[in-house]
Amino acid sequence: MVVLFVFFSCNKEKLKDVNVSDVGVSLQVDRFDVDFYTSNKTTLNQVKNKYPYLFPKNITDSVAISKINNKDEQELFLETQKLYKDFSKNKEELISLFKHVKYYNPNFKAPKIVTMLSNIDYNSRVIYADSLLLISLDVYLGKNHKFYSDYPKYIKENNTKENIVVDVANAIIEKQLSTTTSRTFVEKMVFEGKKMYLLDLYLPKISDKLKIGYSEDKLKWSIDNEDKVWKYFIEKKLLFSTDTKLNKRFLDIAPFSKFYLQQDSQSPGRIGVWFGWQIVKSFMQNNDVSLQELLIIDSQELFNKSKYKPKK
């Protein structure tokens, strides 16, 4: 609690696009992907000296050179370069993100960005460690790219250039709100909703579709069926349930949420996260609280004070 009071500024800005033009942020971007895949036996040592944290002791020079010369890896690198040879637009988006983070958290320091390839490891899109942030560009080649032909649709949906800044923001938020003692389903929804509300503040110009990671039809389904799903939660007495199976059904990344109904496949995964988002937004609209007060308030208390009602 003390950390959160120090971490976040004391302003009571509501959800809007604040002026961050005077917020000072410097950003360094290092292109490990370019430096590594264009190196050779002669220049490899320079790359190792620049990125020592990316060369474990068990990786010999011969292993590194073999990786550089691998036909498939070079194809992956060349395909990535088609889209990211110029990283300036992405850098501008990241600077805007960091300015918004710092606006609400004056102690925030922008991490150094390092771009790399991870052989399309979509579970490690972004790795954030305080002063360093790694971005795997080969995960963001576009949802229709041939490299993703065998991937599930709900995964490919977020493999776009526009998702980079969202994933970076999520990585930062995970560090800011990394733990929860919530046990009931509604408390877990609220906790996830707090993360989504931070996304709203940090990325005011990004669409809801990108922030939640839904396709257009899945987002529309959520809006159109808000009343029906909420009624389902109440009738099945799920809101105050401590059944951990509800995590996989409604909170974890999945192709759809599991109501055990015939229409399940039409729904998006993580529908509980979407509801938590609506609850937190309703709370902020109906209560005069600062951001740090939002983040430390008990989830059950937040829900009770949110006055949330699904739209019919």
Has residue 251 been placed in a domain? yes
Domain limit, last residue, from 176, 209, 229: 176
Domain limit, last residue, from 130, 151, 176: 176
Q: Which domain holds residue 52?
A: 18-176
Residues 154, 29 share a domain:
yes
Specify whether the CB–CB gap between 44 and 64 falls below 8 A. yes
* The token pair that represents 109 in the structure block: 């320091």
Cβ atoms < 10 Å from Cβ of 1? 7
Q: Whole-angstrom distance between the N-terminal and C-terminal Cα of the chain?
A: 37
Q: Pick from 84, 269, 298: which is nearest to 181 by CA?
A: 298
Residues 201, 99 share a domain:
no
Residues 169, 207 share a domain:
no
Dist. CA 105–CA 290, nearest whole Å: 12
How many domains, the chain?
Answer: 2
Specify whether the CB–CB gap between 54 and 30 falls below 8 A. no
Residues 169, 223 share a domain:
no
Has residue 10 been placed in a domain? no
- Res 77: pLDDT: 98
Residues 25, 162 share a domain:
yes
Has residue 33 been placed in a domain? yes
- Res 180: pLDDT: 76
Give Cα 186 distance to the centre of its chain.
21
Has residue 120 been placed in a domain? yes
* The token pair that represents 114 in the structure block: 């390092």
Q: What is the pTM of this model?
A: 0.92
Has residue 2 been placed in a domain? no
Dist. CA 307–CA 43, nearest whole Å: 62
Residues 251, 107 share a domain:
no
If the chain, 312 residues long, is cut into consecutive pieces of 10 residues, what is the mean pLDDT of each piece? 42 64 93 98 96 92 96 97 97 97 93 96 91 97 95 94 98 86 93 97 96 96 97 97 97 96 95 98 95 91 96 80
Hunting for tokens 């990316």 — which residue is that?
54
- Res 16: pLDDT: 64
- Res 2: pLDDT: 39
Domain limit, last residue, from 149, 176, 203: 176
Q: Pick from 11, 17, 2, 102: which is nearest to 288 by CA?
A: 11
Has residue 7 been placed in a domain? no
Residues 233, 93 share a domain:
no
Residues 58, 125 share a domain:
yes
Residues 221, 123 share a domain:
no
Sort 36 into a burial class: Cβ within 10 Å, 0-12 / 13-18 / 19+: buried
